[in-house]
Structure 1
Amino acid sequence: MEPRAVPAGQGVAWLREGLDLFAAAPLTWLGITLLFSGMLVVFSVVPFAGMFASVAIPMFIGGLMLGCDAQRRGQPLEVRYLFSGFEAPRLQPLAIVGALYLAASVVVMLPVIAVVVGTSLAGTFAAVSAGSGGSGSAGLGLAAVVAVAIGLLILVAATVLLSMAIWFAPALVVFRGVAPVDAMKLSLRAALRNLGPFAVYVLAVMGIGLLVMLPLLGAILFAAARGSSGGDLSPMLAIAMGGTGLFALICIVLLMPPMWGAMYASYRDVFGD
């Protein structure tokens, strides 16, 4: 099974299909999103549960891919699809995908953390030995900044590659029965072959996010202008910031279902299902 390369404009088509799936069952999708988000919040506050959440995400995504497929075939979307990835025979391979993703994330983070901690310790020791204002300290400080910047670039690049490796993997497991490692390799190869449509898709999502945020960004600028002209800045800025945060949360909730639908659409487009 070889992934095919599709035109860059398909990135917009993926998002459009995701929006169509969302529009076909908005209340059910919102219920799924709120339930999913609530579980992630619980996992984030319970000690060590975050690791389980990382492993479980491909299982949730696999179930949602089944829900999208049911919608495409004219069947009703149900909340139970969120948990379909936890059923045999999909449970074990999807859990392995999640475990591999978690392990790879840890491996990526360790050298970056080592660089940041190492440069910080070196800077501290140099400052202690040089007293204050030494040129050696300044040079080491610049080196530390460069090292941290390089570490962050490596982290970003590795995160993008990991995201590519997991993008198609749940769908490949649930629809094609591909083994976990093979599914992640195939997903990475498919994503690298379709950098154009993925770039267009990301820009389209960012464009939607920017458009919906413009009114509240304008409110923040208005509050800042009022403060600079002698008005009381604090109340308006607090309202603007609070409103921006709430509005951003609402937008994220509304964007998640179309993005899941776009993931399904991209799988069908690239793998011909």
Structure 2
Amino acid sequence: MTDPAPKAVHPHNAARHPQPQRVSPAEALNWLKAGWGYFIGNPGVWVAISVIFIVMLFVLGLVPLLGWAVVLIGFPVMVAGMVLGCHAQARGEPLRIEHLFAGLKVHAGNLALVGVFYLLGGLIAGFVSVVIGGGAMLTGYILGALEGLGLGLVSGVVLTSVTFSVLWVLLITALWFAAPLVVLRDTPPLDAMKLSLAACFSNFGVFVVLGVLIYVLIWVAMVPAGLGVLVLIPVLAGTVYSSYQAVFGEVPALPAPADTAPQEGTE
């Protein structure tokens, strides 16, 4: 009796679950350059998008508890909208302010689920950090002596901070490619976050370099009264889109140049 033939992978499922590619750490700078290219392609609209984005976050943040929950859940939706704006530019289409809300029209439910997982992940990270830090403090308390108690308090605070930072970085890596995968590949939310996490870790070097560069850019953006953030937001959106293209293989990383027809009389 012969073994049954292996099942063929459905092309639609393959598109929804692409395999991440490995890229050189030097690509981090190219991604940021591409992000800058998207911004200068239409700076006026991008600044308007940044202003609306910041105002929305600020207003929602004023609502106690529920406001920040809405911010975290809606964050992937707005990121997806900016990614779709970059995608439109890459195809030579005009960028519009409405692109910020385009995620509401394309897979809004799945994007919101990504936000829910993001929110739950943040809560779990905070809980685990407090438990680990509290364990260190309890050890100091059990030791009884003032030296032991003081050491327990210091080590508890340090452990809490370090644990939360590590878990938060893991959460950010799971979020990095999630929105593009959902809106451009129709990938289910949890699968998109798993793919994002795997892609970031398989390209650990480039994301370490990118993280350092973004950290520096954040401080630079804050220097002119924080006005640089209006530029940094679209640059980072373009960086997310170009890194997605490089790792998962999509359209060219820079906006498509306008077609130029040959002039008459030239050979």
Q: Same fold (TM over 0.5)?
A: yes
How many Å separate the matches in 1 of 2:78 and 2:218? 24
1:200 and 1:167 map into 2 onto residues whose CA distance is 15
In the TM superposition, residue 113 of structure 1 has moved relative to its aligned partner by 2.8
Confirm or deny: 8 A CA contact 1:115 1:148 kept in the other structure. no
1:122-133 equivalent positions in 2, closer than 5 A: none
Change (3 A) 1:121 1:203: closer
CA positional deviation for 1:195: 1.4
**Aligned residue for 1:192?**
201
1:53 equivalent in structure 2: 71
Distance across 1 between alignment mates of 2:235 and 2:225: 16
Match of 2:175 in 1: 166
Deviation at 1:252, TM superposition (A): 2.1
Please list, as runs of the form range in 1=range in 2, the aligned pairs for 1:93-108 lying within 5 A after superposition: 93-108=110-125
Helix, strand or coil at the partner of 1:250: coil
The residue identity in structure 2 corresponding to 1:153 is V
- Contact map agreement 2:221 2:232 (CA 8 A) in 1: no
Per-residue CA deviation, residues 23-74 of structure 1 (Å, 9 max, x unaligned), is 0100100000000000000011012111011000001111111110000111
Which residue, out of 37, 43, 47, partners 1:20? 37
Q: Which amino acid aligns with 1:28?
A: V
Name stretches of at least 5 consecutive residues in structure 1 with no aligned partner.
Answer: 131-135, 214-243
Measure, in 1, the Cα distance between the counterparts of 2:59 and 2:24: 40
Query: Aligned equivalents of 1:31 and 1:42: distance in 2?
Result: 17
- Gapped runs of 5+ residues in structure 2? 1-17, 251-267
Q: Do structure 1's residue 33 and structure 2's residue 50 form an aligned pair? A: yes
CA distance in 2, matches of 1:159, 1:206: 15
Letter in 2 for 1:253: L
- Shift in Å, 1:170: 0.4
For the aligned residue pairs, the C-alpha RMSD in angstroms reads 2.2
Residue 97 of structure 1 deviates from its aligned partner by 0.5
Question: How many residues were matched structurally?
Answer: 232
Q: How far apart are 1:76 and its partner, in Å?
A: 0.8
C-alpha contact (below 8 Å) 1:115/1:151 kept by paired residues: yes
Which one of 239, 258, 262 corresponds to residue 262 of structure 1?
239
2:258 paired residue number: none
Distance 1:150 1:206 in 2: 22
Equivalent-residue separation in structure 1 for 2:39 and 2:57 (angstroms): 21
**Deviations, residues 122-148 of structure 1 (Å, cap 9, x unaligned):** 87x78xxx8xxxxx1122111221122
The amino acid of 2:98's aligned partner reads R
Q: Does structure 2 conserve the Cα–Cα contact (< 8 Å) formed by 1:8 and 1:196?
A: yes
Return 176-185 or 251-260, whichever deviates more.
251-260
- State how far apart, in whole Å, the 1-side matches of 2:215 and 2:114 are: 27
Aligned to 1:91: 108
Q: How does 1:195-234 map to 2 (within 5 A)?
A: 195-209=204-218
Aligned: 1:183 with 2:192: yes
Partner in structure 1 of residue 86 of structure 2: 68
Alignment check: 8 A CA contact 1:6 1:270 kept: yes
Whichever residue aligns with residue 122 of structure 2, its letter is S
Compute the displacement of 1:120 (Å). 6.4
SS in structure 2 opposite 1:102? Answer: helix
Correspondent of 1:155 among 164, 168, 180: 164
Task: Compute the displacement of 1:160 (Å).
Answer: 0.6
